[in-house]
Amino acid sequence: MNRRSADSIVFFDSQNVNPVFFKIAISLFALIALSDWWTFHEMRKKRINFFGYVLIFLPSLVCALHLILLLCGERSMYSFRIVSGTILLFTVPKLVFTIISAGGNRLGRLFHRDWKHIQGVAFFFACIVAVVQFYCVTVGINRLDVNRVTLASPLLPKSFDGYRVVQISDLHLGSYFSDDSFVRTVVDSVNSLHPDLIVFTGDLVNESPDEVLPEFVNALSCMHAPDGVYSVLGNHDFCVYKGFPSEQEVRRATDKVVRLEQSMGWEVLRNEHRLLVRDGDTLVLAGTDNVAKPRPRREGEYVPPAGSLKKALRGVPESHHVLLLTHDPWHWRREVTSDPRVLFTLAGHTHALHVRLGNFSPAAWIMPEWGGKYVSRNGMLYVSTGVGGSVKYRLGAWPAIELITLRRGHAVE
């Protein structure tokens, strides 16, 4: 195996370049340079003082430094946080200023108008955007919504009519460092709903089991439901983004994530199923390892084996019906919708790209099922936009857990 493991983000070195990240980095450098150049160009007319120049350039210089460190293979969540935070809090508002100011000047010349106040207007809107961004990276990431959802099917066993499931997804514990306060808020909210079953649909960590500190284990061990707590592994739980030097170390890290979840009292479903029994009726709870959309492999890359619905449902009679846990909603159309036994599928993964405005999210441009409820001929899918994420930012797609009530009846979109 190559020195850096498969799905690991090998940012930049002389032996291996991640072309996607490299293109993103170049684009970010260009955006930072454009916004700073135009802001300097316009503010210079106002004869700003030294503090003004520092405010314009220092955040970008710090961001550029840490972006270079990431390109050179420095795997630090602190660097990643600095880059993402600086772009969100400084570069985005400066881009808004650039677009409005430059656009206004261009239109003024086009229509022979002297729009003297366009810089003031641009600055006003840039300040509004900066305030919104600040809210999203401070308050927005720590507000927790409870989405109440009903999933219905006429094939649901009668005794499970009204069955309550709490879904949690995408905790990404490494993003909280050692602060367990929000995780405890999640746990308290889950327990206050008194569900029959608790499920976690993947991505406990960002890249390593070392992120699961004892305080997180203690907090997450406090979730309880009569039918237990079950989980599946997401793409991050396979620890392929850490850059472990060998395939064996990647596998050991994945196994440690599984053991940590088991130590919290969770049962990890790895292409397997369990039977939930109520008053003589049976509902099959199944879970698969992550099944992601195929992509080209780089040379020497380790890709964990994909999950398998066939393995998970091995031995399940055709007369039984299934509640399936998976991580990536892409799995639903690839394999799940063709199996009439699967009534309901719960997934996560998308985070709605951390942005949701009403019923719109930019995630829709790349993911057909990015958040909420979807219906097919054979069953229903619910995609949670999750609790956390590698990027500490939420706009509209606030951190959320789902209280899902199963009903015996006809599905409604």
The Cα 394–Cα 353 span in angstroms is 9
pLDDT at res. 304: 84
The Cα 240–Cα 185 span in angstroms is 29
In this prediction, residues 157-174 reach a mean pLDDT of: 97
Higher pLDDT, 197 or 95: 197
Q: What percent of the chain has pLDDT over 90?
A: 62
The Cα 67–Cα 389 span in angstroms is 19
- Residues 279, 260 contacting (CB under 8 angstroms): no
pLDDT single digits (tens) 34-79: 777 777 777 666 666 667 667 777 777 777 777 777 667 666 677 7
pLDDT single digits (tens) 371-380: 999 999 889 9
pLDDT single digits (tens) 173-192: 999 989 999 999 999 999 99
CA 279 to chain centre: 38
pLDDT at res. 13: 43
Angle between helices 77-86 and 50-71 (to 10 degrees): 140
Q: Confidence class of residue 153 from pLDDT cuts 50, 70 and 90?
A: very high
The Cα 310–Cα 335 span in angstroms is 9
Residue with tokens 């790209």: 353
pLDDT single digits (tens) 3-27: 333 333 333 343 444 565 566 667 7
Q: Is the pLDDT of residue 300 over 90?
A: no
The Cα 384–Cα 84 span in angstroms is 23
Strands, DSSP E only, in 257-377? 266-268, 272-278, 281-287, 322-325, 342-347, 372-375
pLDDT at res. 46: 65
Range with lowest mean pLDDT among 45-49, 280-284, 324-328, 357-361: 45-49
Of residues 372, 376, 369, 370, the one with CA closest to residue 411:
376
Mean pLDDT of the chain: 87
Q: What is the DSSP string of 72-131?
A: TT---HHHHHHHHHHIIIIIHHHHHHHHHHHHHHHHHHHTT---TTHHHHHHHHHHHHHH
Cβ neighbours of 104 (radius 10 Å): 17
- The terminus-to-terminus CA distance of the chain in angstroms comes to 46
- Local structure of residue 239 (DSSP, 8 states): T
The Cα 101–Cα 71 span in angstroms is 32
The Cα 381–Cα 387 span in angstroms is 18
Range with lowest mean pLDDT among 69-78, 121-130, 323-332: 69-78
Beta-sheet pairing, 372-375 with 400-408: unpaired
- Residues 273, 312 contacting (CB under 8 angstroms): yes
- Residues 349, 170 contacting (CB under 8 angstroms): yes
Residue ranges covered by each domain of the chain: 19-138, 144-408
Angle between helices 92-110 and 19-43 (to 10 degrees): 60
Nearest-5° Cα angle at 126, 125 to 129: 85
Residue 140 vs residues 191, 209, 346, 391: alpha-carbon distances, Å: 22, 26, 24, 12
The Cα 118–Cα 124 span in angstroms is 10
Of residues 399, 350, 401, the one with CA closest to residue 374:
350
| Three-class secondary structure of residue 113 per DSSP | coil
Beta-sheet pairing, 281-287 with 163-168: unpaired
Output the CATH code of domain 144-408: 3.60.21.10
pLDDT single digits (tens) 194-241: 999 999 999 999 999 999 999 999 999 999 999 999 999 999 999 988
